[in-house]
Amino acid sequence: MDTRDRLEEVGEKGIDDGKSLLGDYITKEEINACTSCNACTEACPININPLDIILQTRRYVAMEESGSPASWNAMFQNIETNFAPWKFGAQDRFNWAGELKEEQ
């Protein structure tokens, strides 16, 4: 709805009024609150895909502004260093399984 409101305000010509979709119309909290369940897309009577707008906005915030939540940034760093979202390296990931074997 916020995207539609901005498009109606700007129109096809586009105007430079200093406003942006992210921040002035949609907050970061709103885009992070989405569970990506796709219900909005299925319910839309005119086949608009709001999920695509939300995901692209999240991607922009993460990549261009480095503005993801702190817990996400920790996960991104783990993926960069360990190639997985966990803080453990590949060699240590299955150490917990050894404890299970000892208990049996």
- pLDDT value of position 12: 65
Q: Residues 6 or more apart from 23 whose CB is under 8 A from it?
A: none
- 23: which DSSP letter? I
Q: Which domain holds residue 12?
A: 1-68
Domains of the chain: total: 2
The C-alpha atoms of residue 54 and residue 32 are separated, in whole angstroms, by 9
C-alpha 56/C-alpha 70 separation (Å) is 19
Q: Quick one: 43 and 73 in the same domain?
A: no
What is the model's pLDDT at position 35? Answer: 92
At 62 the pLDDT is 84
Same domain, 79 and 51: no
- State the first-to-last Cα distance of the chain, in angstroms, to the nearest integer: 56
Per-residue pLDDT of the chain (104 residues; tens, 9 = 90+): 777 777 777 776 767 777 777 888 888 888 889 999 999 889 888 888 889 988 998 888 888 887 777 888 888 888 888 888 888 777 777 777 777 766 55
Note whether 58 and 80 are same-domain residues.
no
Same domain, 37 and 75: no
pLDDT at residue 8, rounded to an integer: 78
